[in-house]
Amino acid sequence: MAEGGQVSGAVFKPAKDEGADLAADPLFQTFRVLTPALRRFIANRVRNDADVDDILQDIAARLAARDPEAPVDNKSAFLFSIASNLMKDRDRRRLVRRQGEHVTLDDLEIADPQALQDQVLEGRQRMQLFLAALNTLPAREREVFVAHRMEGQTLLQAAESTGLTLAQVRKLVEQAMARLARKVWKD
């Protein structure tokens, strides 16, 4: 995959005066690590490469603009969520253009109720699968997954509260994550 080589490409180079701060920001570091994955994720959902670059650029801009003091619990989730939202915004803007530029973004929320319904239904079905999958996890795996991924405990806190070692907790969480993903997206 060619994208692998573009991780630290010029597209995401931060402004000079903010460079040092941004490079030290854990969220921006995570963004750099995840860029090839984000690129493929976006490319699977938008039509042309220029859009992919634009969206990645937008993500970088948002990261630069955010308050660096505000902690982000789950960096990968945060980055993929920004990517999803930017793609949605893009679709909305495109729809506005098609309808003659006279529609505000607020109006657009109800412009395509069927699409919205499909999206909600899809969400509901996935949610049902997720809950069913969570229920069938082995007790220990569920416990540490809930503590670490849902309640925001650190691995160390989860280890302390369960009496397990850090390595054991990490392995259990990883197993739970893999099992959940397999069951939620079994199609």
Partner 1 sequence: MTGPNVTEDEQDNFAAARWVMAIEEGLSPEHAEAFHVWLAARPERAELIARQAALPGMARHAQRQAQLEGAAQRLAQQDLARRRANEQALRSRRRFLVGGAIAAGAAALAVAAVMAPRDRGEHTAEVVPEELYETTSGEVRVFDLADASRIWLDAHTQVSVRMTRKQRDITLAAGRLFVDVARDPDRPLFVRNGQFEARAVAAAFEATAFADRTGIAVTEGIVRLTGGRGGRAIDLGKGQCAWLSASGEIATSSASAIAAWRQRRMVLSDRRLDAALAELSRYFNRPLTVADAQLAARRITLSFSIADLTEAEAARIIANAVGADLSDQANAGILLSPAAGGADAGVGARVNPR
User: Which positions touch partner 1 (CB under 8 A)?
Assistant: 1, 3-4, 7, 26, 29-30, 32-34, 36-41, 44, 74-77, 79-81, 123-124, 126-132, 134-136, 139-140, 142-143, 145-146, 149-151, 170, 173-175, 177-178, 180-182, 184-185
Task: State the burial class of residue 178 (Cβ atoms within 10 Å of its Cβ: 0-12, 13-18, 19+).
Answer: exposed
Nearer to partner 1, 19 or 97 (CB): 19
Query: Which of 46, 37, 33, 31 lies closest to 3 in space, CA to CA?
Result: 37
Answer for the pair 60, 14: CB distance below 8 angstroms, yes or no.
yes
Least distance to partner 1 from the beta carbon of 135, Å?
5
Can you tell me the distance from the alpha carbon of 169 to that of 162, in angstroms, rounded to the nearest whole number? Answer: 9
Nearer to partner 1, 1 or 102 (CB): 1
Nearer to partner 1, 18 or 130 (CB): 130
Least distance to partner 1 from the beta carbon of 121, Å?
11
DSSP 98-133: HTTS---HHHHTTT-HHHHHHHHHHHHHHHHHHHHH
Least distance to partner 1 from the beta carbon of 100, Å?
34
Nearer to partner 1, 10 or 102 (CB): 10
CA angle (169, 174, 178) in 5-degree steps: 150
Answer for the pair 23, 64: CB distance below 8 angstroms, yes or no.
no
Least distance to partner 1 from the beta carbon of 98, Å?
28
Answer for the pair 58, 86: CB distance below 8 angstroms, yes or no.
yes
Nearer to partner 1, 19 or 26 (CB): 26
Amino acid sitting at position 21? D
Least distance to partner 1 from the beta carbon of 179, Å?
8
Query: Which of 107, 78, 81 lies closest to 92 in space, CA to CA?
Result: 107
Least distance to partner 1 from the beta carbon of 166, Å?
11
Nearer to partner 1, 57 or 136 (CB): 136
Tokens of 35: 């860029």
